[in-house]
């Protein structure tokens, strides 16, 4: 049996309709490369599994009995994948204009690359600022103070998220965002799969860090494009995502940096959370429809600080 060029691994959790559109776009917009598609479903209850079985019979479906998290589910798909490359693709994406083929061809021309990412667009076709720098004391300080929002075009203040960059040229980056990561099999074999201690967020940061430590490059390629609908999540979901991201960064720092540096990183993450509590607490006592949202923010930030103090990186339904 001939090995496929690319194994597309999609982790799904209750995104049936957008998953349908994602799978359809992969089939419709991919030419010139051989594919296998693997969907790992984290115990969806919205009929996602039935939809995949009924409408996409060639897709290999892996049904989990519980939500095992992003890293674990991707590793399940990677273990089953036969392709020369593994493409980690979010379920809420739409592939445009042969993006997989273009990225594959670019990777073939750059054997030094472990990971290749593409240009990511919002639903309105504006550019989504993917790719960023590894966490560091300086980057965490700038993030905690929101100085990058005040000076987005400044290369210093916007350094962590590279806010000054238009995502319009080939670039060697620290982290390729996980919604579209084309990963070379040889690189995976060298450094291993994703670290399953990361339930969600920062797992791609950790992976890219390990690739770079092993001497590989992580490249951004703007000629391939996808749409990522992630920005359409609810306000509550965005809040929980923000908190979970910060806690996952804490796990990254503890893993890769010394005790003193990791402690300083944890302090800065705590600072990010603590400086926001008074603002939202003030809004709680002000009459208006915003009081529910403000209360949710206060609770989430307080619970996240508790997680930091406990050294816990999993934020689930406000419980650490």
- The gap from C-alpha 180 to its chain's centroid, in whole angstroms, comes to 8
- Alpha carbon of residue 226 to chain centroid: 15
Please give the pLDDT value at position 25: 98
Written as six digits, the tokens of 242 are 């923000």
pTM: 0.90
Cα separation, 310 vs 304, whole angstroms: 10
pLDDT reported for residue 232: 43
Give me the tens of pLDDT residue by residue for the chain, a chain 320 residues long: 689 999 999 999 999 999 999 999 999 999 999 999 999 999 999 999 999 999 999 999 999 999 888 899 999 999 999 999 999 999 999 999 999 999 999 999 999 999 999 999 999 999 999 999 999 999 988 887 888 888 889 999 999 999 999 999 999 999 999 999 999 999 999 999 999 988 777 899 999 999 999 999 999 999 999 999 974 444 456 778 788 888 889 899 999 999 999 899 999 999 888 988 998 999 888 887 778 889 988 988 888 888 888 877 776 654 55
Under DSSP, the state recorded for 232 is G
Residue recorded with tokens 């419709």: 28
| Per-residue confidence (pLDDT) for residue 317, from 0 to 100 | 55
Cα–Cα distance between 226 and 152 in angstroms, integer?
24
Question: Would you give the distance in Å from CA 61 to the centre of its chain?
Answer: 21
Tokens representing 19 are: 């998953």
CA–CA distance, 320 with 318 (Å, rounded to integer): 7
**Cα radius of gyration rounded to whole Å, the chain:** 20
Q: Give yes or no for a contact between 26 and 37, defined as CB atoms under 8 angstroms apart.
A: yes
Task: Please tell me the distance from the alpha carbon of residue 229 to that of residue 128, in angstroms, as a whole number.
Answer: 10
Task: Check residue 312 and give its pLDDT.
Answer: 76
CB 295 within 8 A of CB 303: no
Predicted confidence at residue 189, as pLDDT, reads 97
pLDDT value for 231: 47
């Amino acid at each position: 049996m001939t090995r496929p060029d690319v194994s597309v691994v999609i982790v799904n959790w209750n995104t049936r309709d957008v998953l349908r559109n994602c799978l359809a776009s992969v089939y419709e917009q991919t030419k010139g490369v051989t594919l296998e598609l693997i969907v790992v479903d984290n115990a969806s209850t919205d009929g996602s599994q039935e939809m995949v079985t009924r409408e996409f019979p060639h897709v290999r479906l892996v049904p989990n009995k519980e939500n095992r998290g992003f890293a674990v589910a991707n590793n399940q798909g990677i273990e089953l994948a036969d392709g020369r490359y593994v493409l980690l693709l979010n379920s809420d994406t739409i592939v445009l204009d042969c993006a997989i083929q273009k990225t594959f061809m670019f990777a073939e021309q750059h054997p030094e690359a472990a990971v290749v990412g593409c240009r990511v667009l919002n639903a309105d076709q504006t550019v989504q600022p993917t790719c960023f720098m590894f966490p560091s004391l300086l980057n965490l300080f700038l993030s905690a103070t929101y100085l990058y929002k005040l000076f987005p075009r400044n290369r210093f203040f916007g350094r962590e998220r590279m806010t000054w960059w238009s995502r319009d040229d080939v670039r060697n980056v620290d982290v390729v965002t996980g919604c579209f990561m084309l990963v070379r099999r040889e690189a995976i074999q060298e450094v291993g799969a994703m670290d399953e201690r990361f339930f969600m967020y920062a797992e791609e940061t950790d992976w890219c860090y390990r690739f770079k430590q092993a001497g590989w490059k992580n490249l951004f390629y703007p000629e391939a494009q996808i749409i990522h609908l992630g920005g359409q999540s609810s306000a509550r979901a965005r809040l929980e995502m923000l908190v979970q991201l910060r806690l996952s960064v804490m796990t990254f720092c503890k893993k890769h940096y010394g005790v003193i540096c990791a402690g300083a990183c944890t302090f800065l993450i705590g600072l990010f959370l603590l400086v926001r509590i008074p603002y939202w607490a003030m809004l709680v006592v002000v009459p208006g429809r915003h009081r529910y949202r403000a209360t949710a923010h206060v609770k989430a930030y307080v619970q996240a600080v508790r997680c930091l103090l406990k050294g816990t990186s999993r934020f689930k339904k406000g419980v650490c």
